[in-house]
Chain A
Amino acid sequence: MGKRETFPLKQETDIVLIRQRVRKYAEEAKLGIVSQTKIVTAASEIARNALIYGGGGECVVEACSRDGRSAVYLCISDSGAGIADIDRAMVDGYTSGSGLGLGLSGAKRLVDAFAIDSAPGQGTRVELWKWR
């Protein structure tokens, strides 16, 4: 197991820090520039969701490998209201707030593996992988 860090997610400036750190990890994993931008953008989307809809939480960034390829793993969790209907939340254009409704579905398309776990009142936990 590689380097692993946990970041708090309590205010908008935390998202900036998380983006910077994720970019660093992506560079160290030797991801291409497009892949780097994709994982950073996905992290930004999910972190913002956790902050705005989940009331804040934390973000774990880890350097790992998958089938011999270096990878970046992210786990962003909050203890907010959770998502009642995950399938519906994953549909393009659906939002419970005022955004474009592309954050979750868009983030899923940006990464190589995506997992979401949520239930009403249980908070939300999103895992993202991007590998070389």
Chain B
Amino acid sequence: MPASALAELLKTYESELLEEWIGAQRAAGLRSDLIDLDTVVSNSRELLKLLAVAAEQGIDDLGARHWEPVRGMLERLSRAQSRQGFSPSETATFVFSLKEPLFAKIQQHCGAASLNEIWNATRLLDRLGLYSMEHFMAGRETVIREQQESMLELSTPVVELWKGVLAVPLIGSLDSNRTQVVMEALLQKIVETESEIAIIDITGVPTVDTMVAQHLLKTVTAAKLMGAKCIISGIRPQIAATIVHLGVELGDVITKSSLADAFVVALRELDVRLVSRPVLR
């Protein structure tokens, strides 16, 4: 049986297959909230056409050049569906639901060779289904990575507390990437605001291990090189005890237990005095 029997069927019975395939997809349940019937029909029609063309030149190697259009389309579609909120099964159903109508056609028209042809077709559709799954997952991973990146930016604000006093409230665990972002943002802001004092508040950092300590010290040194003095605040008792046992030397870095204390130190450094207004009668 030539490999093109499948291609022959796909081409000859295109409109029938399309109709039955749409029927199968509807039976499996369409997400009418996410996709309308017209889009489903046009997607299905496009894939059938591409399949027919590609199958003509052999169905053994999906990596081959002539399968590129099919792969491209499935990739686009699966990635888009993963973003739109389709479930993995809903995405896979698109390809797998073609089995039923296609097998029926093979049985009708291939006679004795139909078992062999069904085997070929099922192998082909399984591989296409897996391929679309891979790209569905890749789409998810892209979304996760994007969210991680946007969280990085969200979670590292540098705020000006007073003319010449900056504060960086750090929250969450500090890995190398985040410290890098924090350090860059802080140095940039020091230049922009011509600040003399930067307060790094670690109240929201659950664990200070040697790597976090090293990153903090590097940030302090870099700020010092830019002419700004750093104060580390928000050191809780348990963190202090841990740092001592770890043997980390904070050197001549000024540390304070709370951001308020650090702010008072900063104002004193700047020779600013806050006085409460006398009550006027």
B226 within 8 Å of A (CB atoms): no
How far, in angstroms, from A45 to B241 measured CA to CA in the complex?
16
Check A38–B245 contact: CB distance below 8 A: yes
Evaluate contact between A45 and B210: CB separation under 8 angstroms.
Answer: yes
B246 cross-chain contacts in A, Cβ below 8 A: 41, 45, 102, 106-107, 109-110
Binds A, one of B51-59, B180-188, B201-209: B201-209
- Nearest Cβ on chain B to A23's Cβ, whole angstroms: 8
CB < 8 Å neighbour of A100 from B176, B210, B239, B245: B210
Establish whether residues B242 and A110, one from each chain, have CB atoms under 8 Å apart when the complex forms: yes
A37 in contact with B209 (CB, 8 Å): no
B214 touches A36 (CB 8 A): no
B247 x A109 contact (CB < 8 A): yes
Docked complex: B221-272 residues within 8 A CB-CB of A: 237-239, 241-242, 245-248
In the complex, what distance in Å separates the CA atom of A29 from the CA atom of B35?
51
B28 within 8 A of A: no
Q: Does B175 contact A (CB under 8 A)?
A: yes
A34–B247 touching, CB < 8 Å: no
Contact flags (1/0) for A91-112 with B, using CB distance below 8 Å?
Answer: 0100000011011011101100
Most buried by A among B176, B211, B213: B211
Q: Which residue of B lies closest to A108 (CB)?
A: B245
Residues A34 and B237 in contact, CB atoms below 8 Å apart: yes
- How many B residues, CB 8 Å from partner? 20
The minimal Cβ–Cβ distance linking A33 to chain B, given in whole angstroms, is 5
**A21 within 8 Å of B (CB atoms):** no
Shortest CB-to-CB span from A110 to chain B, Å, is: 5
**B210 engages A110 (CB within 8 Å):** no
Whether the Cβ atoms of A41 and B209 lie closer than 8 Å is yes
Q: Are A48 and B242 in contact, with the CB atoms below 8 A? A: no
| In the assembled complex, A44 has its CB within 8 A of some CB on chain B | yes
Say which residue of B173, B211, B242 sits within 8 Å of A19 (CB atoms).
Answer: B173
A106 touches B207 (CB 8 A): no
B176, B238, B245: the one contacting A106 at CB < 8 Å is B245
Least Cβ–Cβ distance between A55 and chain B, in angstroms? 17
Cβ of A12 within 8 Å of any chain B Cβ, yes or no, is yes
Q: Which of A25-66 contact B (CB under 8 A)?
A: 33-34, 36-38, 40-41, 44-45, 48
Interchain CB contact under 8 A, B214 and A99: yes
Q: Which residues from chain B contact A37 at a C-beta distance below 8 Å? A: 207, 238-239, 241-242
Is A41 in contact with B242, judged by CB distance below 8 angstroms?
Answer: yes
A119 within 8 A of B: no
A92 to B246, CA, bound (A): 9
Closest to B208 in A: A41
Distance A109 CA – B246 CA, assembled complex (angstroms): 7
B268, chain A: closest CB distance, angstroms: 31
- Closest A residue by C-beta to B177: A12
Q: List chain B residues, Cβ under 8 A from A110.
A: 242, 245-246
B173-A16 in contact (CB<8A) = yes
Q: Which residue of B lies closest to A36 (CB)?
A: B238
Q: Which 10 A-B pairs have the closest CB atoms?
A: A106-B246, A37-B238, A44-B209, A109-B245, A34-B238, A102-B210, A100-B210, A41-B242, A110-B245, A41-B209
Beyond the given A23-B206, A99-B210, A106-B248, could you list 7 further A-B residue pairs with CB under 8 A, ordered by the A residue number? A12-B176, A33-B238, A36-B238, A38-B242, A41-B209, A100-B248, A107-B246
Q: List 17 A-B contacts (CB under 8 A).
A: A19-B207, A33-B237, A34-B238, A34-B242, A38-B238, A38-B241, A38-B242, A41-B207, A41-B208, A41-B209, A45-B210, A48-B209, A92-B247, A100-B213, A103-B209, A106-B246, A107-B246
